[in-house]
Chain A
Amino acid sequence: MLDLNSITKVFYPGTVNENLAIDDVNLHVNKGDVICIVGSNGSGKSTLFNLIAGTYPVTAGTMTFDGADITNKPEYRRAMTIGRIFQDPTRGTAANMSIEDNMITAETKGMKGLRISLNNEKRQQYRTLLSLIGLEDRLKDNVGLLSGGQRQALTLLMMVMSRPKMVLLDEHTAALDPRNAQTVMDLTERFIGEHQLTAMMITHNMQAAIDFGNRLIMMDEGRIIFDVSGEEKSSLTVEKLVRLFRDLSNKTYAHDAGLLTKE
């Protein structure tokens, strides 16, 4: 589905701040893959997502999605098929608008026309959808009034409504309290299962990375240092994973276990 061929990203090339963020990464994502990505801060996980989503251009390499070259496609065009949720709950929804207006914007991808699509039939559908996250009576409330967890759940709902082929989840539960994080995570799992989505998820939660999905990727210094799937992945434990990280990343962090938190 998604192929990254020798993708490299250098920030601020030619300056003293030059920084090799992604170093010759090759990755093949199969249709239906649910991939967890782990790695310490600054290992290039979020940069990889930004490159796949098209937020930054790549320095070198090519990218194809469903066979089509997307290396130079602008972000908004890629967003037609690739959904994305950020760590910051405020980035997925517009706070100055009501829930129903936010949802009507997510209903169809792409440029909008001069039709008024929001009608009572749509409202009824939205109410049913919103009952999944307990917001069915707040259609007309501004999104700015919701809590972070509610907003993230709404973002997830809106992303599913727009039927993407693939989703990028960038630590989308990290800013939430444990209970809300669990709710959002359960919903994520449910939607991915129901709609057979292909997904990539960045997480610092080792246990979640082991339990969730069929494939696990570990990143360090802009490279993929470890890629397992199937049986091999399900036999992993948190201890094994942390040990692997220590061996593979050949770093002498005093607290690298702390960087990859268990909880």
Chain B
Amino acid sequence: MIEGIFVDGLVFSIMVIGILISYRILDFADLTCDGSVATGAAIATMAIVSGFPITVALLFAFLGGVLAGMVTATIHNKLKIPGLLAGILTMTMLYSINLRILGNKANVPLLRVTTLYTKLPTIFSFMAPEWASLVGTLLVVLLVKSIIDVFFRTDLGVSMGAMGGNEQMVISQGINPELLKMMGIGLSNGLIALSGGLLAQYQGFADANLGQGMVVQGLAAIMIGEFLFSSNRISLLTLRAIFGAIIYKALMFFGRKYGYLVNITPNDFKLLTGILVIASLFIAQTRSAASSAGAKRKAIARSQQRRDTMEEESHA
């Protein structure tokens, strides 16, 4: 049971890392995610059903996501419209494309085929099947995490971070920001689609509606992660995203399991996720207000103390 939460969270965490790249590192509010996660699931499912090996299917899913992200970046770059609108356009168009990929069906099951999650228990046959799934997923996530960590320490990765902070600066360094956005948003959506490809195999089917509300869920996970510890190092940012993803999935699990006690059903989860994001933002705000209030108290105390010592000196 507990393994299930972790596998679910780890599969989700690859998507959260993708969202981390677009929202936090590139500062690009990208809604393509809701479409590209389903694209990844659809591509991986159809590839596996038509007999491709699992790794190839996942690679196709990744590349499909990269393509979707590059479409968003191109719309944003060439038509000079905000990233938010570009993402909504791609996401909407992807819904039709995803149905096409799934052969005009809303739902394609992965029955009687080898998927990652039927294969893992045979690879790690010395452990229980649930644990084999967990270890296998963990290895995939760690691989993705280390590649991303290294990438954002290369010169190219650093310049992407610079663009997120100050676009003018990368222009001044002779870098084409449009190209950086293509690569960054492409990478972000590639990871999101990869996560979709894993999710389809884990749950055993691909669904055209899979992506609904994924961005908000991903943001919720990022914000939960940001409460854990603060850092500007990329390896800790991705680690935080993974923890946030697992915690989010655990919350949802307990919501499903014990929610009925307070009359909460899975139908309420989208509302609750939204409220969770708003609450996180609110807490972050009150935190900074509290620390500035603390600084003010200290400042008053300091000047009071100075006045006291001055008075004492004048008495003496």
Contacts and interface: CB of A to CB of B under 8 A. Distances in A.
Contacts, number: 98
Contacts of A108: 155
Interface stretch (A25-33, A109-117, A185-193, A245-253): A109-117
Contacts of B166: 90-95
Given A76-B176, A91-B166, A105 B232 contact: no
Contacts of A83: 172
A64 B302 CA distance: 61
Interface in B65-111: none
Nearest to B24: A96
Contacts of B176: 74, 76, 111
Contact of B155 (A79, A91, A116): A116
B14 to A, nearest CB: 21
Determine the interface band of chain B, counting residues with CB < 8 A from chain A.
20 to 34
Nearest to A90: B166
Nearest to A96: B165
Interface string B147-160: 00011011110110
A262 interface: no
Contacts of B164: 94, 96
B252 interface: no
A50 B305 CA distance: 53
Main secondary structure of the interface of B (DSSP, over half): helix
Main secondary structure of the interface of A (DSSP, over half): loop
A112 B159 contact: yes
A105 B171 CA distance: 11
Contacts of B159: 105, 112
Contact of A102 (B151, B162, B175, B177): B162
A21 to B, nearest CB: 20
Contacts of B161: 94, 96-97, 101
- List the 5 closest pairs (A to B, CB-CB), nearest first: A94-B165, A112-B155, A109-B174, A96-B165, A80-B174
Given A97-B158, A113-B156, 16 more contacts: A76-B171, A77-B174, A79-B171, A86-B168, A91-B166, A91-B168, A94-B162, A101-B162, A105-B162, A111-B174, A112-B159, A112-B175, A113-B154, A114-B156, A116-B153, A162-B173
Interface of A: 74-77, 79-80, 83-84, 86, 90-98, 101-102, 104-106, 108-118, 142, 159, 162
Interface of B: 150-151, 153-156, 158-159, 161-166, 168-177, 179, 232
9 contacts: A79-B172, A92-B166, A97-B162, A104-B155, A108-B155, A111-B175, A113-B155, A117-B155, A118-B153
